[in-house]
């Protein structure tokens, strides 16, 4: 054999050697995915950083208080300067619609890209398996050997380190989740002094246990059997969806690389199994698209690496649509895909609703109820009096000073109202009387406008149209 032939053989032997240990996931063994460097691996690390705000967000302060706080006991949701009350929850519903449709749109364009790069289950499981690999062995045989050997101090130490790190991450996850619902610094204090409220302990326990079990033990089984999104994604993808595909025309017939370089009559797949070995869900993408594929692209990294080492064109496994791979068709532009356009339209409508809701948020809520029993009373001097109950909700974070005025009813006077102070987040009920001398009466029913004047500024949103009722003329 020539020198270059020997080198090729050595290269090939190295590749096969790498994966001698790995096999397809048939559900009976624990997946130990091989870790390789590559562009999609790097992208995955970068995408994982999007979870940093989850841990750091609760500690951001704004005007002396937590910038983002879901204050459920007080039914207030704070986003920096914005405070949302249950009355404005329709905006939250629209936001949820926006993200649900965004997920559908992204799936329709690029499959389970959310699962592969952003989903908490795959991200946490990736970190947990990284820790496990460092403690117990990086290959299935190393891990199995480690687990089957008798207990030694070294084994005990390694197991303790692994589970301690898992629990630490799980605990931090539970604590970070809970910190979005109460003051984060106070929460740390309350946990450390064992003074936290029962719901805080329950939330911590549920999320810590959930993270520990799901990311540490169940891992890809969650993606395969538990996740509802995995089940419904099939209806969101079509033949134009970009997914990791194995190019059969390029790769088949596959054959082991033996004795020399690639044979002329063979495809480029050298059947090295590296794409299976790196797959976090343990599937073989060469068998076609499968439910377990989370679109992470790690098999692309692995195969590109093999192709480069065997001097063949990369892209045997690549992100492409079914039509591109099987019919050599060009990718369809997004605007020519009705499904995507419908998703985008719904998203834009939801976004418009949220933006107009946020920009139109009033600093207070103002309602006026006309007394029904009786509709009016005639005073001893003949003046007609109507009674109203005013309700004012202060939606700001400062005390609010309010005066009430009326307009639209000539000659009418407002009684029993003086400047009133309302605390942040509180509702103030006010009973007021409007009186009109009988001589000024023009109709049995006259429109009257109540104006809430807050902190000296008249806000157009805080007027309320009501009725002044009088006896028949
Ligand atoms: S598709 Fe690529 S990585 Fe997978 S077995 Fe073939 S050559 Fe190896
Ligand atoms: S087949 Fe490839 S893209 Fe799909 S989950 Fe496995 S490694 Fe990720």
Query: What average pLDDT is seen over the chain?
Result: 87
Burial class of residue 299 (count of CB atoms within 10 Å of its CB; 0-12, 13-18, 19+): buried
For residue 6, the surrounding DSSP H or E stretch is: helix 3-19
Among 121, 283, 315, the mutation site with the greatest number of ligand 2 atoms within 8 A of its Cβ is 283
| pLDDT band with cut points at 50, 70 and 90 for residue 2 | low
Task: Return the residue whose CA atom lies nearest to atom 6 of ligand 1.
Answer: 269
Convert the pLDDT of each residue in 286-343 to its tens digit.
988 888 889 999 999 999 999 998 888 999 999 999 888 887 777 777 777 888 899 9
CA distance 72 to 182: 8
Q: For position 416, what pLDDT does the model report?
A: 75
Alpha carbon of 170 to ligand 2 centroid (Å): 26
Contact at 8 Å (CB) between 366 and 400? no
- State the alpha helices, DSSP H only, in 330-383: 338-359
Measure Cα distances from 36 to 16, 184, 247, 297, 305 in Å: 15, 38, 21, 12, 9
Sign of CA dihedral 358, 360, 362, 363: positive
415 - beta bridge partners? Answer: 433
- Residue 302 CA: nearest ligand 2 atom is 7
- Residue 317 CA: nearest ligand 1 atom is 1
Convert the pLDDT of each residue in 413-423 to its tens digit.
998 777 688 88
Average pLDDT for 164-191: 96
Q: Domains in the chain, start-ordered, CATH in brackets?
A: 1-361 (no CATH), 364-469 (2.60.40.10)
CA distance 355 to 436: 43
Average pLDDT for 75-89: 82
CA distance 326 to 398: 64
In terms of residues, how long is the chain?
A: 473
Is residue 298 lining ligand 2, measured as CB closer than 6 Å? Answer: yes
Task: Return the residue whose CA atom lies nearest to atom 7 of ligand 1.
Answer: 269
Alpha carbon of 275 to ligand 1 centroid (Å): 6
Q: For position 330, what pLDDT does the model report?
A: 79
- Angle between the 89-110 and 338-359 helix axes, to the nearest 10 degrees? 160
Nearest to 248 by CA among 286, 283, 211, 219: 286
Q: For position 26, what pLDDT does the model report?
A: 55
CA distance 180 to 24: 41
Alpha carbon of 133 to ligand 2 centroid (Å): 19
Strands 413-415 and 384-394: unpaired
Is pTM beyond 0.75? Reply is yes
Contact at 8 Å (CB) between 212 and 167? yes
Is residue 18 lining ligand 2, measured as CB closer than 6 Å? Answer: no
Average pLDDT for 433-441: 91
Both tokens assigned to 390: 């005013």
| pLDDT band with cut points at 50, 70 and 90 for residue 223 | confident
Burial class of residue 204 (count of CB atoms within 10 Å of its CB; 0-12, 13-18, 19+): buried
Alpha carbon of 279 to ligand 2 centroid (Å): 5
Is residue 281 lining ligand 2, measured as CB closer than 6 Å? Answer: yes
Among 251, 267, 297, 298, the mutation site with the greatest number of ligand 1 atoms within 8 A of its Cβ is 251
Q: For position 402, what pLDDT does the model report?
A: 86
């Amino acid at each position: 054999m020539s020198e270059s032939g020997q080198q090729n053989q050595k290269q090939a032997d190295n590749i096969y050697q790498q994966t001698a240990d790995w096999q397809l996931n048939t559900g009976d063994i624990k997946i130990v995915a091989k870790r390789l460097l590559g562009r999609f691996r790097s992208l995955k690390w970068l995408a994982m950083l999007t979870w940093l705000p989850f841990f750091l967000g609760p500690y951001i302060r704004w005007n002396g208080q937590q910038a983002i706080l879901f204050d459920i006991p007080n039914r207030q949701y704070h986003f920096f300067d914005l405070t949302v009350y249950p009355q404005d929850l329709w905006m939250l519903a629209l936001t949820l619609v926006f993200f649900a449709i965004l997920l559908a749109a992204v799936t329709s364009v690029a499959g389970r890209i959310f699962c592969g790069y952003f989903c908490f289950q795959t991200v946490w499981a990736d970190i947990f398996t990284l820790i496990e690999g460092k403690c117990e062995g990086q290959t299935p045989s190393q891990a199995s050997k480690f687990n089957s050997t008798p207990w030694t101090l070294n084994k005990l130490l390694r197991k303790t380190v692994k589970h301690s790190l898992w629990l630490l991450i799980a605990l931090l996850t539970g604590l970070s989740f809970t910190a979005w619902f109460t003051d984060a610094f106070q929460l740390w204090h309350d946990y450390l002094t064992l003074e936290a409220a029962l719901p805080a302990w329950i939330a911590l326990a549920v999320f810590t246990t959930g993270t520990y079990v799901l990311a540490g033990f169940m891992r890809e089984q969650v993606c395969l059997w538990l996740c509802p999104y995995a089940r419904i994604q099939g209806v969101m993808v079509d033949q134009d969806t970009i997914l990791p595909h194995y190019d059969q025309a390029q790769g088949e017939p596959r054959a082991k690389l033996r004795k020399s370089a690639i044979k002329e009559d063979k495809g480029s797949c050298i059947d090295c199994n590296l794409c299976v070995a790196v797959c976090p869900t343990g599937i073989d993408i060469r068998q076609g698209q499968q439910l377990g594929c989370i679109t992470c692209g790690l098999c692309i990294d692995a195969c590109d690496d093999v192709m480069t080492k065997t001097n063949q064109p990369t892209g045997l496994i690549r992100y492409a649509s079914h039509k591109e791979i099987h019919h050599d068709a060009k990718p369809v532009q997004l605007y020519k895909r009705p499904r995507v356009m419908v998703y985008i339209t719904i998203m834009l409508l939801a976004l418009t609703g949220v933006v107009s809701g946020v920009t139109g948020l009033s600093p207070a809520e103002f309602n006026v109820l006309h007394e029904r029993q009786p509709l009016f009373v005639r005073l001893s001097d003949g003046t007609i009096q109507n009674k109203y109950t005013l309700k004012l909700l202060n939606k700001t974070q400062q005390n609010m000073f309010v005066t009430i005025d009326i307009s639209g009813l000539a000659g009418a006077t407002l009684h029993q109202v003086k400047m009133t102070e309302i605390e942040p987040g509180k509702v103030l009920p006010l009973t007021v009387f409007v009186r009109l001398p009988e001589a000024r009466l023009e109709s049995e029913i006259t429109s009257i406008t109540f104006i809430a004047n807050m902190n000296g500024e008249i806000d157009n949103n805080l007027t309320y149209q009501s009725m002044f009722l009088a006896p028949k003329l």
